[in-house]
Structure formats: C-alpha cells, structure tokens
Amino acid sequence: MAQLPGLADEQHEVPEFVQTARAQMEELDRWEQITEEEARLAYEMTRRNELSGGTPVVRRFEQRWRELVGTRYAITTMNGTAALYSAFFGLGVGPGDEVICPTNTWIASIAPALLLGARPVFCESDPRTGLIDPEDVRRRITPNTRAIVAVHLWGWVCDMDALKAISEETGVPILEDCSHAHGATYRGRAVGGIGRVGCWSLQGSKPVSAGEAGILATDDAEVFDRACLIGQVNRIVGMDLAQDTYRYLQPLGTGFKFRAHPLGVGIASVQLDKLAGLNARRGAYVEEVEAGLADIPWLEPIPPVEGARRGGYYGFPVRYRSAAAGGVPLDTMIEAINRAGVPARPSPYPLLHRLPLFAQGFDLFTRNRGPLCGDYRGYREGDLPVTEALMEELIFLPVLSDPIPGAARLIVECLHQAGEIARRL
Ligand SMILES: Cc1ncc(COP(=O)(O)O)c(C=O)c1O
C-alpha cells in the first residue's frame, strides 16, 4: 500500500497495482516476460530522445504488424481501448447505430462504441466454444446495425466463415478484437486481417506487451484514414493517409491524440520477436493438459473451431461438468483445485449485460441523451441464458509460458487429486 503525499492516516492508503504478467506457477514456469533486451532498447531510445511521435521504432513496428497480419495498413495507439475507439470511428459508427457484441468479453470490446453514441446489442456465445454465436448475431441484426464485434476470447478463434457470410449478406462489417489472440490464425490467415478491421491490446499482461499500447490493422483505406484522423494528431503531417479524401483536415485531424508512447512500442517490438516461441510453448502446454483431461470425466477441453490455430493464450478455460463430479458446485471444485496446488478461478470477466451500466442504463451525455437512456430497455437476468449458463461451467487453469519438463503432467495429476479433495469438502 502506498500513501498519498502528506496524508499519513490509514484511511488514505491507496492500493498499488502492477498489471504486467509473470509466471503463474513459479515452480513450474521459467518465463520472464521482460528481459535485458527490452530494457536495452528502451534505454537506447531514451538516450536518442525517441520519446514521442511516429518514430523509426514505431514505424518499423507498424510495418512488421502489417506483415504479420497481412493488411495494407496498421497504426499504433496508446492502448487497446483507443485502437477500438479508432476502429469504430473508422467504420463510421455513430449516434443511432447498433453494434452487436458478445456479452462474454471485456468491457472495452464495446465501450468505445457508446462514446461514439451507438447502442450495444449483446449476443450469446456458442455454448461449445464460448465465442460469439453467429446464428444469434444473425437474429439480432436490424437496419441500424453498424458493426459486429468478433472477440477471439482467450486466444480461441471465432467462426470467421460463418461471421463473414453474415457480413457479406447484410453488409455489416466485422471488427475483430484480437486482444487475447496475438498470432492466432484462421484457415491460415492471421486474425485481425479477416474482418474489416482488427484491434489488439498491447497492455502489460498481453502476449505482446508494450506496458500500455494498442494497434489497429485494416485493408480498408477509408477505415484507416478515419482512424488516423481521430487519434494521430500532428504525428502524420499528411504522410500516413491512404487517400486524398481527408487530406484537407491534416495535420491536425480531429485534434484527438491516441498516439502510443514510443518506449512502449519499442518494448512491444522486442516482445513481437518472441511471440512465435511464446505461442509454441503455451500451445504445447495447453494441448498436453487438454489431452490429459481425457481421464477426468468432469473436465473437458474447449474445442477450437475448425480451421483455427489458437494464439496468444491469454487464458485457459476448460469446461466443468458438475454432474460428472457428483454434483459438486463450481466454486467448491475451484477450491479443491486450488488446494491441490493449481491456481484456478472462474471466468474473470463479468457478463456485460449484467453490469449496472448496461442492465440499468446511464445518462451518458446528460439531459437524457445518449445510447443508454430514452427508449433503452436495459438487460435482465435471463436475457442471455446460454451464456449465463456457460459461466457456471468454466474453470480457468493457469497458462504456463515456459514450463519445465513434465509441468503439464503435474497439473493433470493435481486435477485428479482435486476430484478426491472435492468429495471431502
Ligand atoms: C478483449 C479485450 N479488448 C480490449 C481490451 C482493451 O485493451 P487496453 O486495456 O489495452 O485498453 C482488453 C484489455 O484487457 C481486452 O481484454
């Protein structure tokens, strides 16, 4: 706990928090997220005073991201939320529009759309994969739908063929939120380059960490130019825009600044060198644990959709079958897994439709204006029953990034023991 300057009494103690990643089980995982290499580059950049703007390191990182994703354009932002804001703005999302988004995601997948005046329409997740359910998306499309947010949650990849088919039929573009899925692919294509626009968080706990930053990629010149106009003030001096339409607004664009800190991007550029190795190690570990679940009737892997190669592995959800464990409730089983020595937890994200913001609404722009008031009906328990039920069946296991030999086997043994422990709890 830190203290506010000049205030000594306990009442004013404020919690400190460091949101970068570290090995989740230090005795089994040798991983260090940040090493000398990142520190050296940050030092060199600082000495060069390469601390603001579209610097050489920033430009090179964006170029590499374009190559990774296979898009013509990419631009960094100060965080993933700003990348999403820029992408929604790029798509022309505005007042009166609706945006379809799974309720099972992080709030930033949809929050920027609100600030642009659009109304969220929450949809179900496919109960097998926990990812956006394309059929439910189809049911919720109206003439006002302006975007569909496909979130590759925890590194699992959405059914992009089904979503693309809906997008092509209806003309509603797909925004891919890839904040958990750096380096994941679908039918050989990198996620983020399949829909109209892709966004990534590069926040400190992500598979590619800048500490704080984000990035957006697209093949669409209009989306890209608008994204630059909303957040890249003064950086680009007319250089980055892909077409002439908005050149008259340069160099100040709309005056907004969502630019990334170059030091963060420098750190992310070193992290990007390590992404393939990280994904290979995390993937091998996850697959080995999943294979080990074959002997545990009450835990099942979450199957990737056909054609997907997972990446990022920001979390490791597995499916809990309480009936197969003699009806032991989820919380008790999680407690038992923890007692067996494996840190496990329920889904860390609240379903968005349950948040007071979306359930009750909010006078966002005051005087009864904005997308969450007026005729906004809000959400009630039972409105998204498939996803609500799914939350009672998810257990998150630790993700090991550089496991010692035999680590996955040990985790599976602990899970077996947890079954015994749960019976005694
Ligand atoms: C799915 C998802 N989208 C967007 C974001 C927002 O990214 P940032 O925290 O960098 O703003 C996050 C962050 O955790 C996320 O998990």
- Say whether pLDDT at 12 is over 80: no
In 6-79, which residue ranges form alpha helices assigned H by DSSP? 36-47, 56-69
- Ligand 1 centroid to Cα of residue 103, in Å, is 15
Long-range contacts formed by 51-55: CB under 8 A, 24+ apart = 51/261, 51/262, 51/263, 52/259, 52/261, 52/262, 53/235, 53/259, 53/262, 54/232, 54/235, 54/236, 54/240, 54/259, 55/262
Q: Which of 179, 202, 212, 261 to mutate to test the pocket of ligand 1 (most atoms within 8 A of CB)?
A: 179
Which pair of structure tokens corresponds to residue 192? 């983020």
CA atoms of 16 and 114, how far apart (whole Å): 29
pLDDT for 366-415, tens place per residue?
A: 999 999 999 999 999 999 999 999 999 999 999 999 999 999 999 999 99
Mean pLDDT of the chain: 95
DSSP state of 232: B
Give per-residue burial for 37-60: e unless 16+ CB within 10 Å, then b. ebeebbeebeeeebeeebbebbee
Q: Which of 81, 215, 271 to mutate to test the pocket of ligand 1 (most atoms within 8 A of CB)?
A: 81
How confident is the model at residue 177, as a pLDDT?
A: 99
Residues with CB under 6 A from ligand 1: 79-81, 105-106, 108-109, 151, 177, 179-180, 201, 203, 214
How confident is the model at residue 141, as a pLDDT?
A: 98
CA atoms of 180 and 105, how far apart (whole Å): 10
CA atoms of 197 and 138, how far apart (whole Å): 20
Percent of the chain with pLDDT strictly greater than 90 = 89
The whole-number average pLDDT for the span 157-172 is 98
What CATH architecture is 275-348+386-424?
Alpha-Beta Complex (3.90)
- Ligand 1 centroid to Cα of residue 337, in Å, is 28
The whole-number average pLDDT for the span 81-87 is 98
The whole-number average pLDDT for the span 18-47 is 96
CA-closest candidate to residue 391, choices 89, 124, 50, 52: 124
**376, 121 Cβ separation under 8 angstroms:** no
pLDDT for 35-81, tens place per residue?
A: 999 999 999 999 999 999 989 999 999 999 999 999 999 999 999 99
How confident is the model at residue 137, as a pLDDT?
A: 98
pTM: 0.96
What is Dmax (Cα atoms) for the chain?
71
Q: Which of 176, 202, 203 to mutate to test the pocket of ligand 1 (most atoms within 8 A of CB)?
A: 203
pLDDT for 300-330, tens place per residue?
A: 999 999 999 999 999 999 999 999 999 999 9
Query: Domain boundaries in the chain?
Result: 36-270, 275-348+386-424
- Say whether pLDDT at 272 is over 70: yes
- Ligand 1 centroid to Cα of residue 315, in Å, is 13
- Ligand 1 centroid to Cα of residue 275, in Å, is 18
Supply angle C-alpha 389, 151, 19, rounded to 5: 95
Percent of the chain with pLDDT strictly greater than 70 = 96
- Ligand 1 centroid to Cα of residue 294, in Å, is 33
- Say whether pLDDT at 9 is over 70: no
- Ligand 1 centroid to Cα of residue 108, in Å, is 6
How confident is the model at residue 73, as a pLDDT?
A: 96
How confident is the model at residue 239, as a pLDDT?
A: 63
Nearest residue by C-alpha to atom 3 in ligand 1:
109
How confident is the model at residue 403, as a pLDDT?
A: 98
- Ligand 1 centroid to Cα of residue 115, in Å, is 16
CATH 3.40.50.10440 is held by the domain 36-270: no
Which pair of structure tokens corresponds to residue 153? 């949650």
Q: Which of 106, 107, 265 to mutate to test the pocket of ligand 1 (most atoms within 8 A of CB)?
A: 106
Nearest residue by C-alpha to atom 7 in ligand 1:
80
CA atoms of 177 and 198, how far apart (whole Å): 6
